[in-house]
């Protein structure tokens, strides 16, 4: 009887050990499959984001090319060195109203303080911008670019004066260009809601340099941002 009990007890312990080992292997298998699925999903998301970034770059090139074909607007294209996250220095194309088209005095910010040719240039650029935003988005062909792009009108000021005043001055300059675009180009009743054109002042920070010379101390810079939420919608 004692021997039979020992055999049964030995059998039960071995069964428990076997079951636990099987459960452990199943858990490892489930974790492996889940990680594999997550990795594949991450890779697909990275590929999709890379495709969106490439498409956005192509969109910008389209607008840049249209400006370069116009003798009055080609001077707005500036190539500047830009340091990337990995420390490499690459060339970046900046759309910017050059100094001879912007305010000549440090304290100026009104649109009327620009000369007539500069004002015409701003409006001519506005027409190019509107045509660009009204085209279909190459990343979401069922959407227009004005639905997926935010246009940042960025004002700059030089380092004369205190930092706060320079910020206010740069903001007023950005507001002046944005207001002109909505007064003369984007004039529809709902255009201020339809087109995401924002004004932002950088003060005397992040001045644009070209050939080691600051040429963006009284200028307006145009930056295009693809909305991340729309990017996510396009990936689904």
Q: What is the pLDDT of residue 32?
A: 78
Q: Work out the widest C-alpha separation in the chain, in whole angstroms.
A: 112
**DSSP letters along 23-70, please?**
HHHHHHHHHHHHHHHHHHHHHHHHHHHHHHHHHHHHHHHHHHHHHHTS
CA angle 235, 197, 45 (to 5 degrees): 15
Q: How far apart are CA 221 and CA 207, in angstroms?
A: 10
Q: What is the pLDDT of residue 220?
A: 86
How many Å is the Cα radius of gyration of the chain?
Answer: 29
36 DSSP assignment: H
75 has pLDDT over 70: yes
87 DSSP assignment: S
**Which fold would CATH assign to domain 52-235?**
60s Ribosomal Protein L30; Chain: A; (3.30.1330)
Q: Find, among 179, 209, 69, 192, the residue nearest to 119 by Cα.
A: 179
Tokens of 114: 């620009």
| Average per-residue pLDDT for the chain | 78
Residues contacting 154, CB < 8 A, separation 6+: 170, 174, 200, 201, 202, 220, 221, 222, 223
Q: What is the pLDDT of residue 53?
A: 64
> Residues 52, 231: contact at Cβ < 8 Å?
yes
Q: How far apart are CA 62 and CA 231, in angstroms?
A: 19
26-51: average pLDDT = 74
172 has pLDDT over 60: yes
* 3-class SS shares of the chain: helix, strand, coil, % to 5: 55, 15, 25
Q: What is the pLDDT of residue 235?
A: 44
Q: What is the pLDDT of residue 86?
A: 55
For 83-95, write each residue's pLDDT tens digit: 554 555 556 677 8
Q: What is the pLDDT of residue 236?
A: 46
* β pairing state of 77-83 and 220-226: unpaired
Domain boundaries, the chain: 52-235
6 has pLDDT over 60: no
Q: What is the pLDDT of residue 48?
A: 63
Q: Find, among 161, 158, 171, 173, the residue nearest to 209 by Cα.
A: 158
């Amino acid at each position: 009887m004692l021997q039979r009990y020992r055999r049964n007890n030995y059998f039960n312990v071995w069964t428990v050990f076997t079951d636990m080992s099987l459960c452990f292997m199943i858990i490892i298998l489930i974790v492996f499959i889940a990680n594999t699925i997550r990795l594949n999903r991450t890779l697909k998301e990275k590929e999709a984001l890379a495709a969106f970034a490439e498409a956005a770059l192509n969109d910008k090139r389209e607008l840049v090319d249209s400006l370069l074909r116009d003798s009055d607007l080609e001077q707005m294209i500036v190539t500047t060195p830009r340091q990337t996250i990995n420390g490499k220095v690459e060339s970046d194309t900046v759309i910017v109203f050059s100094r001879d088209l912007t305010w000549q005095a440090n304290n100026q910010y009104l649109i009327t303080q620009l000369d007539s040719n500069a004002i015409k240039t701003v409006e001519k650029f506005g027409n190019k911008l509107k045509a660009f935003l009204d085209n279909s988005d190459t990343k979401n062909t069922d959407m227009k670019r004005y639905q997926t792009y935010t246009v940042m009108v960025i004002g700059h000021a030089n380092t004369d004066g205190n930092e706060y005043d320079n910020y206010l001055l740069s903001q007023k300059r950005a507001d002046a260009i944005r207001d002109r675009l909505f007064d003369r180009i984007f004039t529809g009743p709902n255009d201020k809601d339809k087109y995401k054109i924002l004004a932002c002042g950088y003060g005397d920070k992040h001045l644009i340099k070209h050939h080691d010379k600051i040429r963006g101390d009284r200028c307006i810079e145009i930056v295009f941002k693809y909305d991340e939420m729309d990017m996510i919608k396009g990936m689904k």
